[in-house]
Amino acid sequence: MIENVVKGIRWIPGRDKFLPDSHVYVIGEPESHDLSLVDCGLMEMGSYKIEALESGGIDLNHVHRLILTHTHMDHIGCLAELLAVIPHAEVWVHEAEGAFLERGDSRIVFGNKMFESMLRTQYAVDENSFTFKVHRKLTGGEILMLGGVEIEVIHLPGHSCGSIGLHNRPNKLLMSGDTIYADGAIGRYDLYSADSGELKRSLEFLSKLDLDILLPCHNRIVRSGARPMVENTVRQWSPILGD
Ligand SMILES: [Zn+2]
Ligand SMILES: [Zn+2]
Protein backbone atom coordinates (compact mmCIF):
# COMPACT_ATOMS: atom_id res chain seq x y z
CA MET A 1 0.00 0.00 0.00
CA ILE A 2 1.21 3.49 -0.82
CA GLU A 3 -0.69 6.65 0.07
CA ASN A 4 -0.35 10.25 -0.99
CA VAL A 5 0.29 12.66 1.87
CA VAL A 6 0.84 15.86 -0.12
CA LYS A 7 1.99 16.41 -3.68
CA GLY A 8 5.48 14.94 -3.85
CA ILE A 9 5.37 13.00 -0.57
CA ARG A 10 3.97 9.48 -0.31
CA TRP A 11 3.78 7.00 2.56
CA ILE A 12 4.31 3.23 2.75
CA PRO A 13 3.15 2.17 6.23
CA GLY A 14 5.47 -0.07 8.25
CA ARG A 15 4.30 -3.52 9.30
CA ASP A 16 5.08 -3.99 12.96
CA LYS A 17 5.04 -7.56 14.23
CA PHE A 18 6.75 -8.42 17.48
CA LEU A 19 9.40 -5.90 16.46
CA PRO A 20 8.75 -2.50 14.91
CA ASP A 21 9.23 -1.89 11.19
CA SER A 22 9.62 1.74 10.14
CA HIS A 23 7.37 3.50 7.68
CA VAL A 24 8.95 4.52 4.40
CA TYR A 25 8.28 7.90 2.83
CA VAL A 26 8.83 8.64 -0.84
CA ILE A 27 9.90 12.19 -1.66
CA GLY A 28 9.70 13.64 -5.16
CA GLU A 29 7.10 14.63 -7.66
CA PRO A 30 6.38 11.67 -9.95
CA GLU A 31 7.10 13.61 -13.13
CA SER A 32 10.54 14.62 -11.79
CA HIS A 33 11.87 11.05 -12.15
CA ASP A 34 14.02 11.92 -9.11
CA LEU A 35 12.72 10.05 -6.08
CA SER A 36 14.16 9.56 -2.61
CA LEU A 37 13.13 6.98 -0.03
CA VAL A 38 13.24 7.93 3.63
CA ASP A 39 14.19 4.92 5.79
CA CYS A 40 13.88 1.24 4.89
CA GLY A 41 12.60 -0.95 7.70
CA LEU A 42 13.37 -4.05 9.68
CA MET A 43 15.21 -7.08 8.36
CA GLU A 44 13.17 -9.08 5.83
CA MET A 45 10.70 -6.21 5.43
CA GLY A 46 12.07 -4.93 2.14
CA SER A 47 10.09 -6.98 -0.37
CA TYR A 48 6.63 -5.66 0.46
CA LYS A 49 8.01 -2.12 0.23
CA ILE A 50 9.37 -2.83 -3.24
CA GLU A 51 5.95 -4.25 -4.15
CA ALA A 52 4.25 -1.14 -2.77
CA LEU A 53 6.52 1.09 -4.85
CA GLU A 54 5.87 -0.91 -8.01
CA SER A 55 2.13 -1.21 -7.46
CA GLY A 56 2.10 2.55 -6.90
CA GLY A 57 3.50 2.98 -10.40
CA ILE A 58 6.99 3.94 -9.28
CA ASP A 59 9.82 3.01 -11.62
CA LEU A 60 12.66 1.85 -9.37
CA ASN A 61 15.11 3.41 -11.83
CA HIS A 62 13.78 6.75 -10.66
CA VAL A 63 14.76 6.09 -7.03
CA HIS A 64 18.09 7.85 -6.68
CA ARG A 65 18.74 7.80 -2.95
CA LEU A 66 17.86 6.27 0.40
CA ILE A 67 17.93 8.81 3.21
CA LEU A 68 18.08 7.40 6.74
CA THR A 69 16.58 9.37 9.63
CA HIS A 70 18.94 7.26 11.78
CA THR A 71 20.46 3.79 11.71
CA HIS A 72 18.48 1.70 14.21
CA MET A 73 17.70 -1.82 13.04
CA ASP A 74 14.02 -1.11 12.42
CA HIS A 75 15.03 1.58 9.88
CA ILE A 76 18.12 0.09 8.30
CA GLY A 77 17.52 -3.67 8.71
CA CYS A 78 16.36 -4.10 5.11
CA LEU A 79 18.68 -1.50 3.55
CA ALA A 80 20.71 -4.28 1.94
CA GLU A 81 17.50 -5.85 0.56
CA LEU A 82 16.49 -2.54 -1.02
CA LEU A 83 19.97 -1.88 -2.40
CA ALA A 84 19.97 -5.32 -4.01
CA VAL A 85 16.96 -4.22 -6.07
CA ILE A 86 17.93 -0.54 -6.42
CA PRO A 87 21.73 -0.84 -6.64
CA HIS A 88 22.19 2.60 -8.19
CA ALA A 89 20.67 4.36 -5.16
CA GLU A 90 22.92 6.45 -2.95
CA VAL A 91 22.82 6.23 0.84
CA TRP A 92 22.55 9.53 2.71
CA VAL A 93 22.77 9.70 6.49
CA HIS A 94 23.91 12.13 9.16
CA GLU A 95 27.69 12.20 9.49
CA ALA A 96 27.59 11.09 13.15
CA GLU A 97 26.08 7.72 12.19
CA GLY A 98 27.58 7.54 8.71
CA ALA A 99 30.98 7.00 10.29
CA PHE A 100 29.62 3.94 12.15
CA LEU A 101 28.16 2.46 8.96
CA GLU A 102 31.33 2.90 6.98
CA ARG A 103 33.47 1.08 9.51
CA GLY A 104 30.82 -1.58 10.16
CA ASP A 105 30.32 -0.64 13.79
CA SER A 106 26.81 -1.92 14.58
CA ARG A 107 26.45 -0.61 18.11
CA ILE A 108 23.90 2.03 17.06
CA VAL A 109 22.08 -0.42 14.76
CA PHE A 110 21.35 -2.81 17.64
CA GLY A 111 21.17 -0.26 20.43
CA ASN A 112 22.07 -2.68 23.21
CA LYS A 113 23.39 -6.19 23.86
CA MET A 114 19.96 -7.67 24.43
CA PHE A 115 18.64 -6.56 21.04
CA GLU A 116 21.87 -7.61 19.42
CA SER A 117 21.73 -11.21 20.66
CA MET A 118 17.99 -11.42 19.93
CA LEU A 119 18.38 -10.18 16.36
CA ARG A 120 21.48 -12.22 15.64
CA THR A 121 19.50 -15.31 16.65
CA GLN A 122 16.38 -14.35 14.75
CA TYR A 123 17.95 -13.17 11.50
CA ALA A 124 20.93 -13.96 9.35
CA VAL A 125 23.08 -11.11 10.59
CA ASP A 126 26.81 -11.52 10.22
CA GLU A 127 29.72 -9.25 11.04
CA ASN A 128 29.48 -7.30 7.79
CA SER A 129 25.71 -6.94 7.61
CA PHE A 130 25.84 -3.29 8.58
CA THR A 131 28.83 -2.03 6.66
CA PHE A 132 27.67 0.38 3.95
CA LYS A 133 29.13 2.96 1.68
CA VAL A 134 27.70 6.35 2.59
CA HIS A 135 27.50 8.62 -0.43
CA ARG A 136 26.53 11.79 1.37
CA LYS A 137 27.02 12.63 5.03
CA LEU A 138 24.50 15.18 6.20
CA THR A 139 25.25 17.69 8.92
CA GLY A 140 21.91 19.41 9.41
CA GLY A 141 21.10 22.78 7.89
CA GLU A 142 21.14 21.57 4.27
CA ILE A 143 18.28 22.80 2.12
CA LEU A 144 17.78 20.15 -0.55
CA MET A 145 15.63 20.12 -3.66
CA LEU A 146 14.55 16.49 -4.02
CA GLY A 147 12.48 15.85 -7.11
CA GLY A 148 10.88 19.28 -6.91
CA VAL A 149 10.27 19.10 -3.14
CA GLU A 150 12.14 21.44 -0.80
CA ILE A 151 13.52 19.64 2.25
CA GLU A 152 15.53 21.14 5.07
CA VAL A 153 17.64 18.69 7.08
CA ILE A 154 17.47 19.22 10.85
CA HIS A 155 19.94 17.44 13.14
CA LEU A 156 17.93 16.09 16.09
CA PRO A 157 20.34 14.22 18.37
CA GLY A 158 18.92 12.47 21.41
CA HIS A 159 17.15 9.30 20.31
CA SER A 160 20.45 8.53 18.59
CA CYS A 161 23.45 10.75 17.92
CA GLY A 162 22.75 11.23 14.21
CA SER A 163 18.96 11.39 14.16
CA ILE A 164 17.59 13.86 11.65
CA GLY A 165 14.24 15.37 10.79
CA LEU A 166 13.24 16.38 7.26
CA HIS A 167 11.27 19.60 7.12
CA ASN A 168 9.19 20.59 4.13
CA ARG A 169 8.36 24.18 4.97
CA PRO A 170 5.86 24.90 2.15
CA ASN A 171 3.52 22.21 3.50
CA LYS A 172 4.46 22.77 7.18
CA LEU A 173 5.41 19.12 7.15
CA LEU A 174 8.01 17.27 9.23
CA MET A 175 9.31 13.74 8.86
CA SER A 176 10.37 13.28 12.46
CA GLY A 177 12.06 9.87 12.43
CA ASP A 178 11.86 8.43 15.94
CA THR A 179 12.31 11.76 17.73
CA ILE A 180 8.60 12.44 18.21
CA TYR A 181 5.47 10.48 17.35
CA ALA A 182 1.78 11.22 17.34
CA ASP A 183 -0.27 10.64 20.48
CA GLY A 184 2.15 12.12 22.98
CA ALA A 185 5.01 9.67 22.52
CA ILE A 186 8.70 10.40 21.97
CA GLY A 187 11.66 8.26 20.97
CA ARG A 188 13.36 6.13 23.60
CA TYR A 189 16.56 7.51 25.00
CA ASP A 190 18.18 4.49 26.63
CA LEU A 191 19.94 2.97 23.60
CA TYR A 192 23.58 3.33 22.58
CA SER A 193 24.46 6.95 21.60
CA ALA A 194 21.17 8.31 22.99
CA ASP A 195 21.16 11.33 25.30
CA SER A 196 18.09 12.56 27.15
CA GLY A 197 19.35 16.14 27.49
CA GLU A 198 19.99 16.35 23.75
CA LEU A 199 16.59 14.82 23.06
CA LYS A 200 15.02 17.52 25.20
CA ARG A 201 16.76 20.25 23.20
CA SER A 202 15.80 18.62 19.91
CA LEU A 203 12.16 18.38 20.99
CA GLU A 204 12.12 21.98 22.16
CA PHE A 205 13.45 23.03 18.76
CA LEU A 206 10.64 21.11 17.04
CA SER A 207 7.99 22.64 19.29
CA LYS A 208 8.85 26.06 17.81
CA LEU A 209 8.31 24.98 14.21
CA ASP A 210 5.10 25.95 12.49
CA LEU A 211 3.87 22.43 11.72
CA ASP A 212 0.66 21.14 10.28
CA ILE A 213 1.64 17.63 9.14
CA LEU A 214 3.70 15.23 11.26
CA LEU A 215 5.10 12.10 9.64
CA PRO A 216 6.84 9.96 12.26
CA CYS A 217 8.44 6.65 11.35
CA HIS A 218 6.06 4.56 13.45
CA ASN A 219 2.37 4.41 14.24
CA ARG A 220 -0.10 7.08 13.28
CA ILE A 221 0.64 10.03 11.04
CA VAL A 222 -0.93 13.47 11.59
CA ARG A 223 -2.36 15.07 8.47
CA SER A 224 -3.30 18.42 9.96
CA GLY A 225 -3.04 20.46 13.15
CA ALA A 226 0.22 18.89 14.34
CA ARG A 227 1.68 21.89 16.13
CA PRO A 228 -0.43 21.90 19.32
CA MET A 229 0.07 18.16 19.64
CA VAL A 230 3.85 18.57 19.32
CA GLU A 231 3.85 21.44 21.83
CA ASN A 232 1.85 19.38 24.34
CA THR A 233 4.08 16.37 23.93
CA VAL A 234 7.22 18.44 24.48
CA ARG A 235 5.72 20.24 27.47
CA GLN A 236 4.93 16.92 29.12
CA TRP A 237 8.28 15.29 28.44
CA SER A 238 10.70 18.19 29.02
CA PRO A 239 10.71 18.01 32.85
CA ILE A 240 11.26 14.25 32.71
CA LEU A 241 14.19 14.51 30.31
CA GLY A 242 16.27 16.73 32.60
CA ASP A 243 19.15 18.78 31.21
ZN1 LIG B 1 15.07 4.54 16.45
ZN1 LIG C 1 12.21 3.22 14.86
CA torsion 182-183-188-193 (nearest 10°) is: 30
For 73-113, the pLDDT digits (tens) are 999 999 999 999 999 999 999 999 999 999 999 999 999 99
Ligand 1: centre distance to CA 108 (Å): 9
Sign of CA dihedral 155, 106, 188, 230: positive
Ligand 1: centre distance to CA 116 (Å): 14
Ligand 2: centre distance to CA 27 (Å): 19
Ligand 2: centre distance to CA 21 (Å): 7
Ligand 2: centre distance to CA 52 (Å): 20
Q: Please, which pLDDT band fits residue 38 given cuts at 50, 70 and 90? A: very high
- The whole-model pTM stands at 0.97
For 159-179, the pLDDT digits (tens) are 999 999 999 999 999 999 999
Degrees to nearest 5, angle at CA 52 with 47 and 55: 120
Ligand 1: centre distance to CA 10 (Å): 21
In DSSP notation, 178-219 reads TTB-STT-B----STT--HHHHHHHHHHHHTS--SEEEESSS
Ligand 2: centre distance to CA 66 (Å): 16
Q: Please, which pLDDT band fits residue 29 given cuts at 50, 70 and 90? A: very high
The CATH number of domain 3-241, selected from 3.40.630.30, 3.60.15.10, 3.40.50.720, 3.40.50.1970:
3.60.15.10
